[in-house]
Amino acid sequence: MRAWRLLGSIAVVTSAAFFAVPAAPAQACGGGMVTEADANVAVTAQRVFVSTRAAGTTDIVAQLDVTGSKSYGVLIPLPSQPTLDTTPIDSKELDALDRATQVHLYSSEESYEPEDTGCSCGGDAAKDGGSFGGGVQNGLGDRGVSASEFVDIGPVSASVLQADTGASLASWLTDNGFSVAADDQSVIDSYVGTGKHFIVVKRADGAPAGRSSIGLHFTLQGDQRGYPLRMAQVGAARELSLSVYVSSEFGSAPTAPFQTLTLNNLAIDGVTDGEPEDQLAKNYARAIRAAVTERQGKAFVIEGVYAASDALASSPALFALTDAGHRLSRLTTIVDSTTLDTDVAFTAPAPENVPTDREVGANAPAPQGVKQAFSIFGLLLPALLGLTARRIRREPRA
């Protein structure tokens, strides 16, 4: 068996952070992965939908959007045993949610026509239905690890596993075509414990190489509104951009030590005639980055709180995962990955009267300029996400 070294980055937001591992022996790190030497790989999506339910569960839909060749894998640490949905959510539903909740900036100095900058990632979803309870069993015979059989979910296959120790998890990954870099082991170990589980995702047999984009849906017991940022630092790019959509009875915001910012807390520069049409988008991203950096990486911008029924009007599969009367909060951050030393929960109440639009530019009067929609997910792809294609180097296994 050959060993493959991964260089890359991924930071998909969920109740437990994602980090990617190759489907042939490779370093487990935050990245898209391939199993061919000198192949390019890029992870281009960092969106997750989280919905608390009156039944005492949390539904999570995390977009897996990977551009690469051949095989890849993702390891998802979770606080409890998940139930996997064998029907993927079409990523177009997340695109529609993204468009429905974009912030709007006004600039009295603009002269160009408005442009919808939301990103449409596409991707066809399988329609075969069903769910997989994720009950783990020792079918693979690995000491200290219980793992279920892999099940196909659209273009990927997934398994649920539980490990007694970090060492046993690393051993299982190695025996099944993965390996963990020594420098990353302590971070990964911190997510191993009684009751904690992992979802392992890889490209399904027979799935075409190239781009893969689906919404992976699973359910957890309890209120799991959070994101283990410490895990996101494993192999991460220098900068991570995260967008999370939280549906709950009331608006949601991050808990301390993280601060909640609104558009009114951002110093957003306007644009003038002759500047590129995406300049205001870049200014908005720069303003978020600066505000988060000023707070040592511990801040999220709440870009709106909506009636879930309104925000999800064009996303029926996601809407089916919400309870009547719930509110949907959209939160974004752009953070230096070296500051990812504390996990975050989104269980604090959202501020009242969260603004979703704002005029920018010097001496701007009441809104009368061109109105332009801004989706930080769309605006930052691909260049501003800090996620670029990485070269993968093959190494012989020792």
Q: How confident is the model over 171-214, as pLDDT tens digits?
A: 888 887 776 677 778 888 889 998 999 998 888 888 777 777 88
**Helix, strand, coil shares of the chain as percentages rounded to 5?**
15, 35, 50
What 3-state class would DSSP assign to 167? helix
d(C-alpha 119, C-alpha 90), whole Å? 14
Higher-confidence residue: 266 or 396?
Answer: 266
Asked if 77 and 241 touch (Cβ cutoff 8 Å), the reply is no
Token pair of 326 as six digits: 């719930």
pLDDT band, very low/low/confident/very high, at 356 (cuts 50, 70, 90) = very high
For residue 154, the 8-state DSSP code is T
- What per-residue confidence (pLDDT) applies to 31? 33
Gap between the Cα atoms of 302 and 385, Å rounded: 18
The stretch 265-271 carries a mean pLDDT of: 87
The mean-pLDDT minimum among 49-63, 136-150, 294-308 falls in 136-150
Model confidence band, residue 60 (pLDDT cutoffs 50, 70, 90): very high
**Higher pLDDT among residues 230 and 97, named by residue:** 97
Identify the residue whose tokens are 């951002």. 266
Backbone angles phi, psi at 370, to 5 degrees: -75, 135
Please tell me the predicted confidence (pLDDT) of residue 15.
32
Distances (CA, A) of 257 to 5, 139, 300, 345: 35, 42, 11, 10
Q: Regarding predicted confidence, which is higher, 44 or 204?
A: 204
Does pLDDT of 327 surpass 50? yes
Distance CA 212, CA 60 (A): 19
Dihedral, CA of residue 180, residue 181, residue 185 and residue 186, to nearest 10: -160
- Judged by average pLDDT, the poorest of 38-52, 123-137, 270-284, 286-300 is 123-137
Q: What is the pTM of this model?
A: 0.77
The pLDDT value given to residue 151:
92
Q: How many domains are there within the chain?
A: 1
pLDDT of 19 over the 50 cut: no
Has residue 30 got a pLDDT over 50? Answer: no
Tell me the pLDDT band of 24, cut-offs 50, 70 and 90. very low
Closest by CA to 21, choosing from 43, 1, 54, is 43
Q: Is 243 helix (H, G, I), strand (E, B) or coil?
A: strand
Instruction: Say if residue 332's pLDDT is above 50.
Output: yes
Instruction: Tell me if 115 sits within 8 A of 107, measured CB to CB.
Output: no
* Residues 44 and 65 sit within 8 Å (Cβ to Cβ): yes
Share of the chain above pLDDT 90, in %: 40
Tokens of 334: 């752009």
Other beta carbons within 10 angstroms of residue 118's beta carbon come to 19
pLDDT band per the 50, 70, 90 thresholds, residue 82: very high
For residue 204, the enclosing domain spans: 3-395
Q: Encoding tokens for residue 205?
A: 């047999």
Split at pLDDT 50, 70, 90, the class of 96 is very high
Give Cα separations from 24 to 76, 146, 203, 277, 395 (angstroms).
17, 20, 11, 43, 11
- Between CA 229 and CA 227 the distance in angstroms is 6
- Amino acid 104 reads H
pLDDT at 286: 94
Asked whether the beta carbons of 39 and 70 are under 8 A apart, the reply is yes
Nearest to 202 by CA among 192, 217, 212: 212
Question: Rounded CA gap, 211 and 131, in Å?
Answer: 25
CA dihedral (254, 339, 236, 98) positive or negative? positive
